[in-house]
């Protein structure tokens, strides 16, 4: 079953108290910790991660190829060791769906079009870090997005279906 997100939340510096900049490791850490209580057991896949740090290259997560990073503690460790993300894709998938991840041949980039689908089963949420400015969070789960919007005082954008190539 393909991931086809229907909802988007954009979190800039206003979503985080006392924030002077966006896409900080501490901000993604806040999002991850809040999500851990809201979604079922999961693992993280990452791609296109760039930061002022050698860590993404060491982990092999700087390419557009989605790669397994691990569970929440793995992503938390990454966030604690990066001051600010320049770009990045973070995808949480249901833990029970991790069987064939070593054969995963799926690319994703921060600059992909909004609401693009992923040919991947069990996706719970996708987070994108944009140019030190803001995070975008995508999901198919309206209740989850309403909860996140409440936590961060953010607005939910809903994907409008396309008819004849135009958004409605």
Is the pLDDT at 119 greater than 60, yes or no? yes
pLDDT recorded at residue 74: 93
Asked whether the CA dihedral 117, 124, 43, 80 is positive or negative, the reply is positive
Kindly report the pTM of this predicted structure. Answer: 0.89
Strand 67-70 to 42-51 pairing: antiparallel
Give the pLDDT score at 99: 60
* Residue 60 scores a pLDDT above 50: yes
Domain positions in the chain = 7-153
Q: Is the pLDDT of residue 142 over 60?
A: yes
H/E segment holding residue 45: strand 42-51
């Amino acid at each position: 079953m393909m991931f086809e997100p229907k909802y988007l939340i954009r979190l800039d510096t206003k979503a985080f108290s006392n924030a002077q900049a966006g896409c900080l490791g501490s901000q993604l850490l806040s999002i991850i910790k809040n999500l851990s209580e809201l979604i079922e057991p999961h693992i993280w896949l990452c791609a296109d991660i760039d930061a002022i740090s050698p860590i993404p290259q060491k982990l092999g997560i700087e390419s557009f190829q989605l790669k397994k990073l691990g569970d929440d503690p793995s992503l938390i460790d990454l966030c604690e060791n990066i001051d600010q993300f320049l770009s990045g894709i973070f995808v949480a998938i249901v833990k029970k769906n991790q069987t064939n991840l070593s054969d995963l041949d799926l690319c994703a980039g921060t600059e992909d079009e909004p609401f693009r689908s992923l040919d991947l089963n069990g996706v719970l949420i996708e987070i994108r870090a944009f140019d030190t400015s803001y995070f975008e969070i995508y999901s198919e789960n309206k209740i989850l997005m309403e909860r996140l919007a409440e936590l961060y005082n953010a607005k939910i954008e809903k994907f409008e279906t396309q008819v004849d190539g135009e958004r409605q």
